[in-house]
Chain A
Amino acid sequence: MTAVQNPPTEEALVSTTLESPTEAPVAAGATPAPLVRRRRGKKLTGYLLPVAVFAALIGVWYAITYLILDPGRRFLMPAPHTLITEALLDPVITDKVWPALGRSIVVTFTGLAIAIVIGMLWAIAMSQSKAVEASLYPYAVALQCIPILALVPLIGFWFDFGFTSRVIVCVMIALFPIVSNTLFGIQSVDRGHHELFTLHKAGRITRLVKLQLPAAMPAIFAGFRISAGLSVVGAIVGDLFFKQGEPGLGILLSNFSSRLQGAPLFFTIVVTAALGFAVFFLFGWLAKLAVGSWYDQSRDAS
């Protein structure tokens, strides 16, 4: 565990050294004026600046819509407020988007759950024997290296174009980070802790349950978070490809774009993005709940 805990202290050192150049001259000045300026500077960077950047981006968006595009081509980049007026408040659109969101959520979480179970069992099996690791790890790498998109048509070919295929795409995309993070976590267990367990003749299962898995939890949860994001991607991609059955967000995106419905298309993109964010923060929160009390997550919170 020490090996895993060391980096945060290093990072803390780096961040203090990074901050000190800006603060040192202020402290040397020792008059009230620079102090105020520094405080205002902090407020600016911490709060005002992000808002300003966001406002600027919205401004650029409006500029493109109204200054650059001809009125006839504004569907390419509909003004931000039209996402609300022409999509969020239009029951014809929302009657399509909300059920699609529901379906995509179900696919995402089903795929993720299966990936978690398979991925962790896979990694645990590899952690218990070098021979198993040597035989099974190449396939985990293959999973990561083969563009899953290339396999998507095959999956549809074999499993039809419905729910099952979509879930399989999610599982394949989400599997690798869980396998590799779980394995890494288990293999990074402190040597001193292992010796303690050896000394007291702990069996394989006891060692796994009382030492390796708890120690690996921070890495495992980091893997969950990455995989959750990928699983959202999988759900959308599966949808886009199969274009059959009950429409999820992917099919809607495709439909809206082919019908040149700019505002609904943009709205669906925002909803999809929100799903990605929600899943990311959900797993950040779960990780904090599970290991936050003893493990400093700040270093892998990205």
Chain B
Amino acid sequence: MSAPAPTAPPAATGTTVLDFTDVARQFPDGTVALEGVDLTIQRGEFVTVVGPSGCGKSTLLRIASGLDAASAGTARIDAKRIGYVFQDATLLPWRSVKKNVELLAELHGMSKTATNQAALDAIELVGLRGHEKKLPRALSGGMKMRASLARSLTLDPDLFLFDEPFGALDEITRERLNDELLRLFVTKGFGALFITHSVSEAVYMSTRVLVMSGRPGHIVDSFEVPFGPDRTPELRFTPEFAKLAGEVSHALREGHS
């Protein structure tokens, strides 16, 4: 019963959902977390930011989500609905999987029937059928992340923000979730801003990889990823993949020194 890819391509691919011009963020204590960031994301684009800890990646994401505001430049968000997947699954421990998935729809004032249907669809999409009644404590790390993903999916977001969502998972679970997220991305065609430490994950997932460097945080390099939407795990072992990953790693080191 896994949802088939829609026959027609998702509507409005190519609409700009995020547009940053010369965005900077200076904290009250004087620390400059971000400087001169230009970034545009359209629907159907999967943009990943890699960079060392403390380089301002999270600040970038927080500004994109509206949790934080730019202190200079313009940060325009043209997405009606934003999905945000945190580093932790942030599930409410007293709610069942189903109830957790329904939370955001509830907060957005969707009707009961619409909420219910959206939750069932999202649970189906992330492969958690049969686990609806479980409490988060009974879930593995990977399943928690799926539930968290499903929760955002109920909103059918135009823009999806990911803050190192799979960082705490083991390698195997992580790669599986990479594939599932990729499949969702191809099906839904949202715009994504994904943050990670892993170069391999960045190259595998993205249409574009940005390399950030810290003090103050800025984008040092940008790589278009030439691989098409039908990516399989074998891609990670091709010379093309290795070459691109090598270039990104090199840019990371350069930016870091």
Contacts and interface: CB of A to CB of B under 8 A. Distances in A.
Contacts of A294: 93-94, 135-137
Contacts of B86: 192, 195-196
B90 interface: yes
A295 B137 CA distance: 9
A18 B129 CA distance: 42
Contact of B88 (A192, A199, A215): A192
B137 A210 contact: no
Interface stretch (A157-165, A200-208, A235-243): A200-208
Nearest to B83: A199
Given A195-B86, A294-B137, A211 B104 contact: no
A22 interface: no
A196 B137 CA distance: 19
Nearest to A214: B94
A62 B172 CA distance: 68
B185 interface: no
Interface in B41-69: 65-67
B93 to A, nearest CB: 5
B104 A295 contact: no
A199 B137 contact: no
Nearest to B148: A196
A17 interface: no
Given A199-B84, A293-B135, A1 B93 contact: yes
Contacts of A217: 94
A214 B92 contact: yes
Nearest to B106: A210
Interface in A278-297: 291, 293-295
Nearest to B137: A294
Nearest to B62: A195
A198 interface: yes
A291 B84 contact: no
B181 interface: no
A190 interface: yes
Interface centre among B82, B136, B137 (most CB of A within 10 A): B137
Contacts of A190: 90
B243 interface: no
Given A192-B86, A199-B65, A199-B84, A206 B94 contact: no
Interface centre among A196, A206, A211, A214 (most CB of B within 10 A): A196
Contact of B90 (A193, A201, A293): A193
Contacts of A137: none
Contacts of B8: none
Interface residues of A, number: 24
A298 to B, nearest CB: 14
A31 interface: no
B107 interface: yes
A206 B107 contact: yes
Interface string A174-214: 00000000000000001011011111111000100011001
Interface in B113-140: 135-137
Contact of A200 (B92, B107, B135): B107
Contacts of B92: 1, 193, 211, 214-215
Nearest to B105: A200
Nearest to A296: B137
Interface in B63-92: 65-67, 82, 84, 86, 88, 90, 92
Nearest to A293: B135
Interface in A77-112: none
Interface in A1-49: 1-2, 5
B101 to A, nearest CB: 13
A211 B99 CA distance: 13
Given A195-B67, A294-B137, A200 B90 contact: no
Contacts of A1: 92-93
Nearest to A291: B94
B107 A198 contact: no
A214 B95 CA distance: 10
A1 B90 CA distance: 9
Interface centre among A5, A190, A199, A214 (most CB of B within 10 A): A199
A170 B65 CA distance: 50
Contact of A197 (B65, B88, B94, B107): B107
Contacts of B90: 190, 192-193, 195-196
Contacts of A202: 107
A199 B108 contact: no
A293 B94 CA distance: 8
Contacts of B220: none
B160 to A, nearest CB: 13
Interface centre among B86, B94, B135, B136 (most CB of A within 10 A): B94
A20 to B, nearest CB: 26
Nearest to A198: B67
B210 to A, nearest CB: 23
Nearest to B88: A192
Q: Which 3 A-B pairs have the closest CB atoms?
A: A192-B90, A200-B107, A294-B93
